[in-house]
Amino acid sequence: MTPSLSPRTALAALAVVATFALAGTLIGALPGAPPALAQQSGAGTAEDPVVATVDGEKVMLSDLHALHADLPEQVRNVPFERIYRPLLNQVIQTKLLAAKARAEGLDKTPKIARRLRTLTERMLHHSYLDAYIDKSVTEDRLAEAYKAFVASHRGEDEIKARHILVKTRKEAMAAIEALEKGGSFAKLASERSIGPSKAGGGDLGWFARGQMVKPFADAAFALDKGAFTDTPVQTQFGWHVILVEDRRRTAPPPFEAKRAELKRELGGKLMAAEVERLSKAAKIVRFGPDGKPLDDAAPARKEDGQEKKQ
């Protein structure tokens, strides 16, 4: 269900991101600001029309969509059309205040300039990260990673089982005796079990060891296909008699189900290698809080009594 928000709530949420939008506008005014962050000019297109002008500066529909995407989730889930006007007003307000800030030279003050440079670097960092991963994590690399995953995937044991759940050990032993005389497990479960699976003849379907409480899982996974427990199994739910109908080992998930995870893993490894390469190529000098250089190359201090005598 789509959340219902009042205009006041929507405006309050818009105010949360107003500071960030203002900072982004100021970034475009910095000398040397990257083109992707600079103010866009030119006529709108059918896909991205001009939705307002502020002293001749165009506000594009894409500006509103960008602000909408940065909103808190509660507001972001509201259809764009419902908060179009608050979004438009917020972008206009941001441009007005940013223009006033620039006119008063706020973007040139050391404090603001430093904060804007930091924000710019963070945005560039994330932009480069995304671009590098998209470029480096090719389909061939993903296919190779999936192939390696499949080769190492051992799967997980699963069993298909039924059970009869009763309140006392005596009742469980009576059910076992009836089974040993040839009774139908499903029929006995329907008649005697107190568990929610009673209606289905005690059918629990397929499950892995970790999906059941330990005493139940240990007893069930120790059984061969077609066998049932010859002694009752006690858990916090009561006393169980368990029948294993089938066993299998899970197959690896398909490529598409693993794609996003493989891309994250590959991207992380490739980016770590890229950062290491860039670090080696750069001249980096580190300082401590006291302003003194940190000697990263210094050998680790030898512990007392551990140095070998020559």
| Mean pLDDT estimate for the chain | 85
- Taking residues 86-111, report their average pLDDT: 94
Higher pLDDT, 295 or 229: 229
Q: What is the pLDDT of residues 30-78, one digit of tens each?
A: 433 333 333 444 455 778 999 999 999 999 999 999 999 888 888 888 8
Is pTM beyond 0.75 here? Answer: no
- Taking residues 104-131, report their average pLDDT: 92
Residue 173 has pLDDT above 90, yes or no: yes
The three-state DSSP-derived secondary structure of the chain is CCCCCCHHHHHHHHHHCHHHHHHHHHHCCCCCCCHHHCCCCCCCCCCCCEEEEECCEEEEHHHHHHHHHCCCHHHHCCCHHHHHHHHHHHHHHHHHHHHHHHHCCHHHCHHHHHHHHHHHHHHHHHHHHHHHHHHHCCHHHHHHHHHHHHHHCCCCEEEEEEEEEECCHHHHHHHHHHHHCCCCHHHHHHHHCCCHHHHHCCEEEEEEHHHCCHHHHHHHHCCCCCCECCCCEEECCEEEEEEEEEEEECCCCCHHHHHHHHHHHHHHHHHHHHHHHHHHHCCCCCECCCCCECCCCCCCCCCCCCCCCC
Percent of the chain with pLDDT over 90: 71
What is the pLDDT, as a whole number, of residue 77? Answer: 87
What is the pLDDT, as a whole number, of residue 7? Answer: 47
